[in-house]
Structure 1
Amino acid sequence: MEISYKWLQEFIELPESPEQVGKLLTSTGLEVEGIEKIEAIPGGLEGVVIGEVLTCTKHPDADKLSLTTVDVGTDQPLPIVCGAPNVAAGQKVVVALVGATLHPRSGDQDAAQPFQIKKAKIRGAASEGMICAEDEIGLGTSHAGIMVLDTTLPNGTPAARYFNLEADYQIAIGLTPNRIDAASHFGTARDLKAVLNRSLQLPSVDAFVVDNTDLTLDVAVEDKADCPRYTGLTISGLTVGESPDWLKQRLLSIGLKPINNIVDVTNFVCYDLGQPLHAFDADKIAGGKVLVKTLPEETPFVTLDGVERKLTATDLMICDAEKPMCIAGVFGGQYSGVSAQTTRIFLESAYFSATSVRKTAQHHGLKTDASFRFERGTDPNIPVFALKRAALLIQQVAGGVISSDITDLYPDPIEPFRVPVRYRNIDRLIGIQIDRTEILRILNALDIQAEELTPDGFLAIVPPYRVDVTREADVIEEILRIYGLDNVPLSVTLAADSLSEFPKTDPDQWQSRVGQLLAANGFYEILTLSLTRPGYHDAIRPSLTGDDVTLLNPLSEELSVMRQSLLFSSLETLIYNANRRQKDLKFFEFGKVYHKVKLEDGATKYVEKMRLSIAMLGNQEAESWLQKGQPVAYHDLATAVQRILNLFRIKSFDTQPADSTLFQYGITYVVNKKPLVSLGLVQPKLTKLVDLKQPVFYADFDWQALLKLATNKARYEEVSRFPEVRRDLSLVLDKGVTFEQISRLARQTERKLLRTINVFDVYEGENLGKEKKAYSVSFMLQDSAQTLTDVTIDKTMKRLMTAFEQELGAVIRK
């Protein structure tokens, strides 16, 4: 959001510089992201002054040139050669001094190149400046002659002061969604008022009078829940045209483009007071009626941008006796707006339900200045004041008379928030004890009244425009941000406690290490929303450990629950890239999942856990002249998982089949009887939910469990001086026996000499029999104290074979 420094000064006295104001706003929570100087014309007329022509004679060698001397407030008058036909002695003129850079205008366009004034000789006569026409200094387009001023200002006065061209400053504020109360110059000034302890000056509307009631409309609100307050009036006899310079300059200073004087006033008041307004052409309001209501589903409506939209049954509309005219709080209609022929208007100022406007704007994909404010919560007490302010401004810039009383339909006034506050909680949350008088001053400066005062606390009466201040902690935050975070000292004890030592296991460091490992192996990190659609959870409900965390005010049905798995975030990212011809994809994501559980006492507990996901699709490596593309296989994913486990120095684990709800096939690694990671091929029915038809290999780590196993301790073993010995066995086993069972049994049988075990071939065939398979397994044996003898090797292998035969029913093939 952009704020004008000079515009702010209309509400509050600000001798502080724009930079100082920026620091003050940031300290109150309105973070200033940048300050830009705004000049009414390029260069700001720097080096251009008011002068007086002392003498004027014809140039001896040029009929169209004059030799002048001009007093510009210096010790000596300047000799200037002038070609204007209207120059004469005694005139007050605009003089560009040597060194000044001018930005002339030609027609309606800026000149392509500015130019600098230099000392020169023109037909042999010295010239030390230039007497300017209005187009030469960028103030207009006329070049008929020099500008002759009617002023008593001293010679040498900067021309910018005469033309009131003081530079403005555009202050860019990163407005957070909860601070919609500050989405105007008035709202921003309220914070400055509190932090500077100064008075606030609202524009006066005392001049507002109803001239007649010749254009009184019948106004009614049918949906009072979505429109708690609706006000309006009519103005007749106005003229639509170009806005005056001051109004255009105000809008341009915050990046708005002027349109016409009526629309410009409504935009001005929106950014002035924070209250959106809408002007209707009164002659286009059929039946002299204005109705606020909903319309049947699929009713067509053409908005200002010329697009026909189908309304929903919940869209609040402003209608006349025959047709809809405007989507309430969002966007006007094409056939009821102000045009160049408009002479009478109905001016609307309302308070609409934030939920209603948010749903409508989201459904139609319309984001306007009005919806931005209404969907976050405007001030229900300002519509009439804003209406009077706008009516007076319209009369000032477009003429006309107020031709109706103010209609104000407000049957159920919105009450302020009543929040009990205790001093001990203020002291506890802020960390220091603030003087009670200062606390009450701050609250009063923020329009928060303290009632029912006791030694222990008070009742805060919060105005309804502060939609973000509804709890005790919110009130305390208001006190702190105005008191100033910088004024809260950091205690020695707190500093010592916070800087005592780093954790033994640094989650951020491990996350960085794992991310670097995966990136080095061709994976790209993704970051997705924590919100998802409930249909995804329904598809994997048997695998979920708790109930969904549902949003109370979802932006849409597709983003209405917190995710319980990273799987669908990965699948949506895969299909998004696959649809853009990215065929070979390897992603990983660190993200949180959420669920809630019911406790035995009936209470609800919310659970938040960190997970790491890996997803692969397409080919392991892109095809090239060296090799054909090889589709991603399960073992490619298993290799990535194993590299992560190796990084954490996790060597031993148990396995079990992966959850069939998620995986068509796969395994789960279990450490200390708790699942650590599940990996495998995602069930096709799940990939189809995002229209993904290719197979996806996916792994899901319990990141918190992984961190508990992390260690920074390195273990060093001296390289053995004695050689390894390899022995191979071919084992015929039932198909249900896994290599993990073979490996675990071998290590249990031989703990001293067995270094590694590996399967290098698997065979299935009719000669083995049904439901049988053969593993070719290698065993690496080594003794760190001596060279192995044949006798020792044979005894070791015999123990292993006996164990395989007895425990696994293996047949040893010779």
Structure 2
Amino acid sequence: MKVTYNWLKEFVDFDLAPVELADLLTMLGLEVEGMEHLGGGLDEVVVARVIEKAQHPNADKLSLCKIDAGDGELLSVVCGAQNFSQGATVALARIGAVLPGEFKIKRSKIRGEESFGMLCSEKELGLAEESDGIMLLSDELSLGQPVFEALKLKDTVFEIGLTPNRADCLSVIGIAREIAAKLGRKVKYPVVTPPEDGEPVHSKIKVTIQDSTGCPRYAARYLTGCTIGPSPAWLVNRLQAVGVRSINNAVDVTNLVMLEMGQPLHAFDHARVGGGQIVVRRAEEGEVFVTLDNQERKLTADDLVICDRDKPVALAGVMGGLNSEISNSTTDILLESAFFSPPVIRKTAKRLGLHTESSHRFERGVDFEGVPRALDRAAVLIAHLTGGRMANGQVDACPAPRKPVTITFRPERANELLGLNLSSDRMADLFRSLEFNVIPTANGSFQVCVPSFRVDIEREIDLIEEICRLNGFDQVPATLPVAQVVSERPSPHQTLQRQVRDCLVAAGMNEIVTFSFIGPEAADRLLLPADDPRRNSLALCNPLAQEQSVMRTTLLPGLLETAARNLNFRNLDLRLFELRRIYLPEAGAEMPREPLCCAGLLSGARDEARWCHDAQAVDFFDAKGIVESILGLARINGVRWSAEQPEPFHHPGKSARFCVGDVQLGTVGEIHPVTLQHYGIDYPVYGFEINFEALVRLAGGQRAILPPSRYPDSVRDLALLMERERPVADLLDCVQALRIKELEEVGIFDLYQGERIPAESKSVALRLRYRSSERTLTDDEVQKLHQKVIDAATRNLGATIR
């Protein structure tokens, strides 16, 4: 937001220097990001008069002039412009003056004639973008006076960085209101008395609002007999000072009032508004509209448009239409002032990439009650500058009136939060200085009625912030907060996370952190079936790239992409793991479920290759061993391994699931060659996934710790033939189910298939260790126990002794 020092002084009296004013505004929360001194450093550009103008003796297109700068000495100046004559009052840049663009005026010789200065144009002085000749001044100005001072153009422009909530300060009056509140002054609002001497406005304009949500208020006035032309110098200079280009007297007034009061307006050529009718409605899907910048816009049903009887004439709150713009032939004007819903305007402007001064204000919220006031202010100025006549009255369609916001305010609460000790009367005065209506109540609190221009005040805490601003941020004492230092122990969940990470690092693995976003094609790369719930990923509304457009439902894609990148750089021995969240959408829930998951990949050599031998490659059992270490760390009992129903991205026959009861803890196995091909990997890779949330729930199982027996053991080996397809785990489960307390240990030491073994069978060799903690077992006792194992295996599994 740009505003000038002199413009502010028109609405509030103050005697602060520009630097002091900048400090005051910044301390009020309106940060002054920059200051520009108009006319600063240009005091050597003075009012002068052409005493003599003659043809340059050596150049046809140059003049040799005698200039009086008010000091009694005539200066010789060479000039190439032809738009002046002898006796004209001009702007002379003396020798030593520095013009905008760091152009320094020096004594020079032009075609053999000396020149002691330069006659300046508006463009050379930074007062216009283009100019046809030198700047001609009024003959009433005093010679020798600095031009900017004589024309009252010396000013200071403040560039203020506003936070989005301070929509009220997107106007000169809004900032003046802040200055007045801080200095205890009154705002001098413009007095507007429309000279309504024309025919009734309702005979010329009819307004229909079809969407009262998008447009709860629309006001209009009608002016006739207008003459469109250039704006007067005071208006042009005022707009140019804040970076707004002059267009014509009618449009310039709408821009002036928008900057002055914060209310965007729009002027239509009434003759081009079909039937004099205004209809505010939503656009039709795919409707095409050409805006003032001569760009064709394709609209959607979410956009709000201003239409006449037949067609759209403006994109509400954003930009007018080319088909109804003011031109030099315009005589009758339909002037619009409205309130549009901020979300509607924000959505349209963002979708079309069309950010204008108008949309900037409507997006943040304008003064609902200021709509008719700004309309009257602009109508009076347009009538004055164009010579037009104003119709009697204004159309003010307001299908959705708004009630003032009233908030209960507790002075003691404000003092408590701010660390101050302000009296209730002081706080009430601060509110009244901001034009808030304050009504004290019996219990010592206030009922504060918020004016309509403060759209940012919604809660008591907002009022407390106003007290802090106006009383001064520098008045808030610097105190340390009272805090109780509490040493909290990590939860079991956090403890197990740390322990699992340490366990994996101890196993030689490296933790990585990948993006939570993956590409939608990841499910296809993992060969997931169509009904797999992991295909139901959450899509991002604004993805940075297609490869990161959905939230991950598994950690494997990130791990495989990392592995592929490392393998491409010949980093072949990989031990990677990640312990992070995945995102699983749930039907009927607004947010997805975000469980922790642990996954890892292994590839390459098991141990570092030495000079004397080649290292062996990792295999399934390396990955399984790491998983078993984690299960042992978590003290989980009753884990059962199964090769049935492998994951689609695992190699069949080289993978397994591990469960406790009906709860699946995870999977481990070799990654399927097709999946590896999808990621451009040519090396065997083994991976595992662990459901960390299930791991936490099942962790902490009790294990009996028994002292070692003092008595000798007895070891028996047992070789059994069993069905080839039956898992060996069934045999171990069968033996464990006997619950023989003297059976201290059972393990497999051999598995054989081949010669002398039926094709449909396999030989499994068990080693069983028997020992009692009470006495030495006899051979007969051991044999009886051993026979129980044989009988159970033959009876339950159909096994036979080899």
Cα deviation, residue 40, structure 1: 5.3
Distance 1:433 1:597 in 2: 53
The within-5 A match list for 1:317-328 is: 317-328=305-316
For 2:196, the equivalent position in structure 1 comes to 210
For 1:181, the equivalent position in structure 2 comes to 168
CA contact (8 A) 2:50 2:85 kept: no
CA contact (8 A) 2:257 2:263 kept: yes
For 1:793, the equivalent position in structure 2 comes to none
CA contact (8 A) 2:107 2:114 kept: yes
- 1:463 aligned to 2:451? yes
Cα deviation, residue 411, structure 1: 5.2
Which has the higher mean CA deviation after the structures are superposed, 460-469 or 608-617? Answer: 608-617
Cα deviation, residue 457, structure 1: 0.6
For 1:28, the equivalent position in structure 2 comes to 28
For 1:96, the equivalent position in structure 2 comes to 94
Cα deviation, residue 263, structure 1: 2.7
Cα deviation, residue 283, structure 1: 0.4
Distance 2:283 2:217 in 1: 19
Cα deviation, residue 339, structure 1: 2.9
Partner deviation per Cα, 1:694-713 (whole Å, 9 max, x = no partner) = 9999999999x99xxxxxxx
TM superposition score normalised by structure 1: 0.59
| Cα distance change, pair 682–285 in 1 and its aligned pair in 2 (3 A) | farther
**SS of the residue aligned with 1:238?**
coil
**SS of the residue aligned with 1:201?**
coil
Q: Which amino acid aligns with 2:404?
A: P
Larger radius of gyration: 2
For 2:707, the equivalent position in structure 1 comes to none
2:550 to 541, 551, 568: 568
- 1:414 aligned to 2:402? yes
2:416 to 392, 416, 428: 428
The within-5 A match list for 1:323-338 is: 323-338=311-326
| Cα distance change, pair 29–122 in 1 and its aligned pair in 2 (3 A) | closer
The within-5 A match list for 1:148-159 is: 150-151=139-140, 153=142, 155=144, 157-159=145-147
For 1:369, the equivalent position in structure 2 comes to 357
Distance 1:681 1:339 in 2: 76
Partner deviation per Cα, 1:250-301 (whole Å, 9 max, x = no partner) = 3344444443333332233222211121221100122232233446655554
Distance 2:763 2:13 in 1: 89
| Cα distance change, pair 426–250 in 1 and its aligned pair in 2 (3 A) | same
Distance 2:319 2:761 in 1: 70
Distance 1:668 1:185 in 2: 71
Partner deviation per Cα, 1:731-755 (whole Å, 9 max, x = no partner) = x9999899xx9xxx9xxxxxxxxxx
For 2:279, the equivalent position in structure 1 comes to 291
The within-5 A match list for 1:219-230 is: 219-230=207-218
Which has the higher mean CA deviation after the structures are superposed, 289-298 or 269-278? Answer: 289-298
Q: Which amino acid aligns with 1:211?
A: D
Cα deviation, residue 434, structure 1: 1.6
For 2:747, the equivalent position in structure 1 comes to none
Distance 1:293 1:118 in 2: 62
Distance 2:458 2:79 in 1: 68
2:178 to 147, 168, 191: 191
Partner deviation per Cα, 1:598-648 (whole Å, 9 max, x = no partner) = 9xxxxx9x999999999999x99xxxxxxxxxxxx999xx99x99xx99xx
The within-5 A match list for 1:331-410 is: 331-358=319-346, 360-361=348-349, 366-410=354-398
CA contact (8 A) 1:193 1:200 kept: yes
Cα deviation, residue 212, structure 1: 0.9
Q: Which amino acid aligns with 1:422?
A: R
**SS of the residue aligned with 1:192?**
helix
**SS of the residue aligned with 2:324?**
coil
- 1:438 aligned to 2:426? yes
- 1:251 aligned to 2:239? yes
Partner deviation per Cα, 1:531-562 (whole Å, 9 max, x = no partner) = xxxxxxxx99989xxxx9xxxxxxxx9769xx
CA contact (8 A) 1:94 1:147 kept: no
CA contact (8 A) 1:668 1:678 kept: yes
CA contact (8 A) 1:280 1:345 kept: yes
The within-5 A match list for 1:7-156 is: 7-30=7-30, 32=31, 35-38=33-36, 44=40, 46-50=42-46, 72=71, 80-83=75-78, 94=92, 96-98=94-96, 100-102=97-99, 115-118=103-106, 129-130=116-117, 132-134=119-121, 150-151=139-140, 153=142, 155=144
Cα deviation, residue 402, structure 1: 1.2
Distance 1:408 1:701 in 2: 64
Q: Which amino acid aligns with 1:194?
A: A
For 1:751, the equivalent position in structure 2 comes to none
Distance 2:670 2:245 in 1: 55
Distance 2:241 2:753 in 1: 79
| Cα distance change, pair 78–346 in 1 and its aligned pair in 2 (3 A) | same
Q: Which amino acid aligns with 1:193?
A: A
Q: Name stretches of at least 5 consecutive residues in structure 1 with no aligned partner.
A: 104-112, 529-538, 549-556, 561-565, 576-581, 599-603, 621-632, 707-731, 746-761, 775-805, 810-814
For 1:239, the equivalent position in structure 2 comes to 227
CA contact (8 A) 1:614 1:700 kept: yes
Cα deviation, residue 145, structure 1: 8.4
CA contact (8 A) 1:236 1:345 kept: yes
Distance 1:16 1:116 in 2: 32
**SS of the residue aligned with 1:335?**
helix
Q: Which amino acid aligns with 1:391?
A: A
Q: Which amino acid aligns with 1:101?
A: V
For 1:448, the equivalent position in structure 2 comes to 436
**SS of the residue aligned with 1:380?**
coil
The within-5 A match list for 1:668-683 is: none
Cα deviation, residue 19, structure 1: 4.4
| Cα distance change, pair 371–768 in 1 and its aligned pair in 2 (3 A) | farther
CA contact (8 A) 1:663 1:682 kept: no
Distance 1:83 1:276 in 2: 47
| Cα distance change, pair 404–423 in 1 and its aligned pair in 2 (3 A) | same
- 1:201 aligned to 2:188? yes
| Cα distance change, pair 305–612 in 1 and its aligned pair in 2 (3 A) | farther
Distance 2:257 2:759 in 1: 87
CA contact (8 A) 2:582 2:597 kept: no
Distance 2:326 2:670 in 1: 61
| Cα distance change, pair 182–126 in 1 and its aligned pair in 2 (3 A) | closer
CA contact (8 A) 2:90 2:137 kept: yes
Cα deviation, residue 201, structure 1: 1.8
Distance 1:467 1:592 in 2: 40
Q: Which amino acid aligns with 2:146?
A: P
Q: Which amino acid aligns with 2:171?
A: S
CA contact (8 A) 1:205 1:388 kept: yes
Q: Which amino acid aligns with 1:185?
A: V
CA contact (8 A) 2:5 2:158 kept: yes
CA contact (8 A) 1:588 1:612 kept: no
Cα deviation, residue 161, structure 1: 0.8
| Cα distance change, pair 491–569 in 1 and its aligned pair in 2 (3 A) | same
Cα deviation, residue 38, structure 1: 3.8
CA contact (8 A) 2:47 2:146 kept: no
CA contact (8 A) 1:247 1:264 kept: yes
Distance 1:189 1:701 in 2: 62
**SS of the residue aligned with 2:333?**
strand
- Compute the RMSD of aligned alpha carbons: 6.9
The within-5 A match list for 1:665-814 is: none
Cα deviation, residue 596, structure 1: 13
Distance 1:484 1:667 in 2: 69
Distance 2:565 2:118 in 1: 69
**SS of the residue aligned with 2:34?**
strand
